[in-house]
Amino acid sequence: MSRVRRPWLFPASIAVALLLGLLPLPAMLQPLRPYWLALVLAYWLLEDHERVGLGLAFCIGLLADVAFGSLLGEQALRLTVMTFILQRFRPQLRFFPMAQQALAIAGLLLNDQIIVAAMHLMFGQPVRGWMQWWTPLIGALLWPPLFVLLDGLRVGRKK
């Protein structure tokens, strides 16, 4: 058996993550929206790190800034910081059991929420409510099924 090469999978997964970030949610659930883009990018950083670097993360973040209508550079900074941390600790994180990977992802997403809060305070933007602090936990719960889904698509086998 050999691997199936799917060059379209990375851009398609980033596009789906962007679309999931734009998907309308009821106002009550809006603060609980997981950071899909960070989760998908984290998968690619762990499993196919040669494809994703700081520059690409920054460009994807700028695209997300335009798509989400956030402060220009906010998503770019968030994704670049996350990419830097994941690149630094990739050798260790890659071989963690799934539960420990999910906890590490929760830590990264918590760091991301701290960056968002600091940026909003610094630039006088409205600070999101206390419910935003649940999103790292939601991201950690979504990590195992997302990882399995993307890994199944990426590592498909020829018969």
Find all residues with CB under 8 Å of 71, minimum gap 6, and list them: 65, 119, 123, 125
| Tens digits of pLDDT across the chain (159 residues) | 455 677 889 999 999 999 999 999 898 888 889 999 999 999 999 998 888 899 999 999 999 999 998 888 999 999 999 999 999 999 999 999 999 999 999 999 999 999 999 998 998 887 777 888 999 999 999 999 999 999 999 887 655
Q: pTM of this prediction?
A: 0.91
Farthest CA pair distance, the chain: 57
CA-based end-to-end distance of the chain: 6
Decide if 44 contacts 52 (C-beta within 8 A).
Answer: yes
